[in-house]
Amino acid sequence: MPTLGIDLGGTFARAAVVDGGGKMLASAKVALAERSPTGVVETIAQAAAAAVKGAGVPVSSCGVGAAAQIHKDSGVLSVAPNLGWRNVPLGQMLTARLGQPVRVVNDLAAAAWGELHAGAGRGASDLLVVFVGSGVGSAIIANAKLLDGAGGVAGELGHIKVVPGGRRCGCGELGCLEAYAGGHNLITQTRELLAAGRSPKLVELTDGDPARVTPVTLELAAEAGEDASREVYERAAQFLALAVANQVTVLNPARLILGGGVLTHCVGMRRRVVEGVQSWASQVSREGLLITESELGDDSGIIGAALLAA
């Protein structure tokens, strides 16, 4: 029987009915009218009902991928930076609201599972999946199994420390990789340069409007040779490339799958990550390594969440 997949972001909830082969039969997307746990649960329920109605078939269970650190046994979101949540029992709340079993996992864990079974990971059993979008996320598939760790938070590449006591991350801690290389934080750092008047090139690219700043804006200013922009960009690129290279050394995956808006649109940043792996990962760990892009794109998480629920 098909299952229901949910992709919970910071502004929308997406739902899809997915068959056993990873094919989406119908989907729906609903904006989060409010970000309280009860409000988000209702939004998810609306999206789920619309997707099931569109598919015209019953579903047996539901999987949810959320950008959060999640306790694997309870489905409690310990930290969900995009929603401003702490210790929210989302799994329990959704099970009660939807009236069916619900499994809640990290969004990158869901994406990795989707890529393994229906995307760029097919035919492999050891994957490292790294997405850089608004944040920095990663997940690990080892011997065709999702590596989730004792508490369910293994693979949190975005929250390794790169500058002890450094910039504050959305998780509340200091010096995380995500605080320097995540999309939201790249925008924040670029706006700081703009506000300080340190980057004429950024003023030119944005007409001085902070709302027009994107990670691509920073990359363009850095590539133009402007010192202030290049400093922020090079730091982020080097931290990210070194972190991914070290993960390859530790895990020895068969495939490294890269995705997310920053790595998709910032071509130079993606190139730096690939070059970093080729230069800094141990030679034996990268022998036979295939570096590829996400095949399912934005649908990887919703498909993976549904397949995990199955």
Q: What kind of architecture, by CATH, is found in domain 124-294?
A: 2-Layer Sandwich (3.30)
Where are the extended beta strands (E) located within the chain? 3-8, 12-18, 24-31, 62-66, 69-71, 76-80, 85-88, 102-106, 127-132, 136-142, 145-146, 255-259, 290-293
- Looking at residue 161, the DSSP 8-state letter turns out to be B
Contact 272, 221 (CB under 8 A): no
Domain extents in the chain: 3-114+298-309, 124-294
pLDDT at residue 13 in the model? 95
Contact 85, 77 (CB under 8 A): yes
pLDDT at residue 74 in the model? 85
pLDDT at residue 72 in the model? 80
pTM for this predicted structure: 0.93
Asked if 3-114+298-309 and 124-294 have one fold, the answer is yes
pLDDT tens profile 85-105:
999 999 999 999 999 999 999
pLDDT at residue 115 in the model? 97
Strand-pairing partners, residue 86, are 79
pLDDT at residue 81 in the model? 85
CA distance 51 to 145: 28
Q: Which of 50, 85, 45 is nearest to 64 (CA)?
A: 45
Which residues lie closer than 8 Å to 17 by C-beta, 6 or more apart?
2, 3, 4, 5, 24, 25, 26, 27, 51, 52, 54, 55, 57, 59, 306
pLDDT beneath 70, residues of the chain = none
Q: Which CATH superfamily is domain 3-114+298-309 in?
A: ATPase, nucleotide binding domain (3.30.420.40)
pLDDT at residue 303 in the model? 98
